[in-house]
Amino acid sequence: MENAQVVISTVMGHKEGIYIKKLLSLTKGNRLLYFAAILSIAAATFIAMLEPMIIKVTIDSVIGNKPLDVPKAIEKLVMMVGGTRVLFRNLWICSLSLVTLTCARGVFLFLRGKLSAQAAENIARNMRVKLYDHIQNLPYEYHVKAESGDLIQRCTSDVDTVRKFFATQMVEIGRAFFIVTFAIIMMLSLNKKMTVIAMVIVPIIFIFSYVFFYKIKNTFEKADAQEGALTSVLQENLSGVRVVKAFGRQNFEIEKYEKENMKYRDLNFKLVKLLSTYWSTSDVLCMTQIGLVLISGIYFAVNGEISLGTLVVFNTYEGMLLWPVRQLGRILSDMGKMSVSLERITNILDVPVEQEYGKALKPQVKGEISFENVNFEYEQDNEILKDISFTVKRGETVAIVGPTGSGKSSLVHLLLRLYDYDSGSIKIDGVELKDIERKHMRNNVGIVLQEPFLYARTIKENIKMAKIDSKDAEIHNAANVAAVHNVITSFEKGYDTIVGEKGVTLSGGQRQRVAIARTLIKDMPILIFDDSLSAVDAETDRVIRGELKKKSKGSTTFIISHRISTVMAADKIIVLNHGKIESIGTHAMLIKKDGIYKRIWEIQTSLDALDDEKQVCNE
- By CB atoms closer than 10 A (0-12, 13-18, 19+), residue 297 is buried
pTM of the model: 0.71
**CATH superfamily placement of domain 450-523:** P-loop containing nucleotide triphosphate hydrolases (3.40.50.300)
Q: How many CA atoms lie within 13 A of 142 on its CB side?
A: 15
Strand order in the sheet with 369-379: 382-392, 369-379, 423-428, 431-432
What are the tens digits of pLDDT across the range 261-295? 888 888 888 888 887 887 788 788 888 888 888 88
CATH 1.20.1560.10 maps onto the chain at 2-349
How many whole angstroms separate alpha carbon 546 and alpha carbon 181?
83
Handedness of CA 77, 82, 88, 93 (dihedral sign): negative
Contacts of 349 (CB under 8 A, 6+ apart): 22, 130, 131, 134
Task: Tell me the DSSP string of 166-227.
Answer: IIIIHHHHHHHHHHHHHHHHHHHHH-HHHHHHHHSSHHHHHHHHHHHHHHHHHHHHHHHHHH
Which of 93-102, 150-159, 425-434 comes out lowest in average pLDDT?
Answer: 93-102
The confidence score (pLDDT) of residue 481 equals 85
CATH 3.40.50.300 maps onto the chain at 361-444+524-619, 450-523
Mean pLDDT of 19-29: 68
Confidence label for 152 from pLDDT (cuts 50, 70 and 90): confident
The confidence score (pLDDT) of residue 51 equals 82
Confidence label for 8 from pLDDT (cuts 50, 70 and 90): very low
The candidate with the shortest Cα–Cα distance to 329, out of 268, 282, 386, is 282
Strand order in the sheet with 572-577: 445-448, 526-530, 556-560, 397-401, 572-577, 580-585
Confidence label for 370 from pLDDT (cuts 50, 70 and 90): very high
Contact status, residue 171 vs residue 41, Cβ threshold 8 Å: yes
Strand 526-530 relative to strand 572-577: parallel, antiparallel, unpaired?
Answer: unpaired
Contacts of 190 (CB under 8 A, 6+ apart): 69, 70, 306, 310, 313, 314
CATH of 361-444+524-619, one of 3.40.640.10, 3.40.50.720, 3.40.50.300, 3.40.50.1370: 3.40.50.300
**CATH 1.20.1560.10: does it fit domain 2-349?**
yes
How many whole angstroms separate alpha carbon 454 and alpha carbon 503?
5
pLDDT surpasses 70 at 611:
no
Please report, rounded to a whole number, the percentage of residues in the chain having pLDDT higher than 70.
85
Contact status, residue 518 vs residue 462, Cβ threshold 8 Å: yes
The candidate with the shortest Cα–Cα distance to 205, out of 336, 318, 49, is 318
What are the tens digits of pLDDT across the range 539-589? 777 777 777 777 667 788 898 888 888 888 888 999 998 889 989 988 889
Q: How many CB atoms lie within 10 A of CB 82?
A: 12
Give me the torsion for CA of 25, 12, 217, 113, rounded to 10°. Answer: -60
Q: How many CA atoms lie within 13 A of 143 on its CB side?
A: 12
Write the single-letter amino acid at 496: D
- By CB atoms closer than 10 A (0-12, 13-18, 19+), residue 559 is buried
Handedness of CA 462, 463, 466, 470 (dihedral sign): negative
The confidence score (pLDDT) of residue 85 equals 57
Q: Outline where 418-551 has alpha helix (H).
A: 438-442, 459-463, 472-481, 485-489, 508-520, 538-551
